């Protein structure tokens, strides 16, 4: 059993103890944590008690109906994730010399992403590196959630939409700068077919947008804020590609970059004056001196699977 040093604490902490702790912390349920770690519940409970004794502090508040992290548990969780990640990377480095690229790779992506053929990218990666276990998921908080997952070591690499690739503690490789967002209106809207409009001209419109935390929402909110204006977002959807259909229905208008789905909806783009700022699709990872072999192998394949840069 591997032991891991945490901070300045002198007594060793076992790897399996940290695996059980992270599972319980994320599930907030001992039964589910035991199932997830392929252990019996009594073993998980005993391991947590031993870890608490070693560290000299309770990690969970427990009663008959709930499990919650204590302050000590909250403090330990990111350190435990980092320790397990470091151990995993060390083992993967040794395995790589013996067996090629191995280990696991947790990939985050944006819902409705069409600029990159993610399915063919994953298939290509698997064919080249069958020894790597892949996990692919989106996040309910969009780009903000994906960036947080990277910082908390719950994800290894992610496709994100950002206004700037200069983000502290993260490394971002731009895939493409999407065309400047424009106003999307139904084809029978009074502004359809007209000339450019200003932010002030459309501030009183009802808007459709992504939830807070998603790049398009963050960028548009910032544009209105800089202009000293407010707007009303009546409908929030989690996929950018769905917005043209909601605009077509007459529910509201939207400020979006060119979308592939516009071709199938009865909508018209109206340019802004002055133009809105573009946003960047990028591949993000932690800003460590050297990415793992699994991460580097993935980022090297992305360019081969970019489908388009003119539309999202």
Which domains, ranges and CATH numbers included, belong to the chain?
Answer: 3-81 (1.10.10.10), 101-177+280-305 (3.40.190.10), 182-270 (3.40.190.10)
CA–CA separation, 142 and 158 (whole Å): 11
pLDDT for position 299: 93
pLDDT value of position 11: 53
Instruction: Encode pLDDT of 218-275 as tens digits.
Output: 889 988 999 999 999 999 998 888 999 999 999 999 999 888 889 889 999 999 998 8
Q: Are strands 206-209 and 232-236 parallel, antiparallel or unpaired?
A: parallel
Question: Is this prediction's pTM over 0.85?
Answer: no
Query: Which residue ranges of the chain lie beneath pLDDT 70?
Result: 1-12, 89, 91-100, 178-179, 289
* Extended strands (E) in the chain: 3-4, 13-14, 60-62, 67-69, 103-108, 132-137, 157-162, 170-177, 182-186, 206-209, 232-236, 254-256, 267-270, 280-286
Residue 23: predicted pLDDT: 93
On the 0-12 / 13-18 / 19+ scale of CB atoms within 10 A, 119 is exposed
Q: Which two tokens stand for residue 141?
A: 């908080």
147 sits in which H/E element: helix 142-151
* CA 302 to each of CA 63, 102, 307: distance values in angstroms, whole numbers, following the listed order: 48, 19, 10
CA distance 83 to 61: 23
Burial of 4 (0-12, 13-18, 19+ CB in 10 A): middle
Find the helix packing angle between 142-151 and 215-226, rounded to 10°.
110
Q: What are the angstrom distances between the C-alpha of 15 and each of 5, 57, 91, 113?
A: 10, 18, 13, 37
What pLDDT shows up at residue 287?
A: 86
Question: Tokens representing 132?
Answer: 């790597």
Q: Is 57 left (phi over 0), alpha (psi -120 to 50) or beta?
A: beta
Tokens of 175: 């895939």
């Amino acid at each position: 059993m591997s032991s891991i040093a945490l901070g300045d604490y002198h007594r060793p902490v076992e790897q399996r103890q940290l695996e059980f702790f992270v599972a319980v912390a994320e599930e907030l349920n001992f039964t589910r944590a035991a199932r997830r770690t392929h252990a019996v519940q009594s073993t998980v409970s005993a391991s947590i008690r031993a870890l608490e004794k070693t560290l000299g502090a309770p990690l969970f508040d427990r009663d008959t109906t709930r499990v919650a992290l204590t302050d000590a548990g909250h403090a330990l969780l990111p350190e435990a994730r980092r320790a397990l990640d470091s151990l995993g990377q060390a083992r993967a480095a040794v395995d790589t010399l013996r067996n090629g690229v191995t280990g696991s790779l947790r990939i985050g992506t944006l819902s409705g992403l069409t600029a990159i053929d993610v399915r063919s990218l994953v298939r290509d990666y698997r064919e080249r590196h069958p020894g790597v276990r892949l996990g692919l998921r989106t996040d309910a908080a969009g780009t903000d959630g994906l960036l947080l997952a990277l910082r908390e070591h719950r994800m290894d690499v992610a496709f994100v939409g950002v206004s700037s690739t200069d983000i502290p503690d993260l490394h971002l490789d731009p895939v493409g700068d999407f065309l400047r967002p424009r106003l999307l209106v139904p084809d029978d809207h009074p502004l359809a077919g007209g000339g450019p409009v200003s932010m002030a001209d459309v501030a009183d419109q009802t808007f459709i947008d992504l939830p807070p935390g998603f790049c398009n929402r963050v960028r548009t909110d910032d544009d209105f804020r800089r202009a000293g204006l407010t707007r009303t977002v009546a409908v929030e959807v989690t996929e950018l590609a769905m917005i043209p259909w909601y605009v077509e229905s007459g529910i509201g208008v939207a400020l979006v970059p060119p979308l592939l789905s516009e071709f199938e909806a009865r909508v018209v783009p109206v340019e802004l004056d002055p133009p809105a700022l573009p946003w960047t699709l990028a591949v993000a990872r932690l800003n460590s001196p050297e990415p793992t072999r699994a991460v580097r192998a993935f980022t090297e394949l992305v360019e081969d699977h970019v489908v388009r840069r003119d539309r999202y």
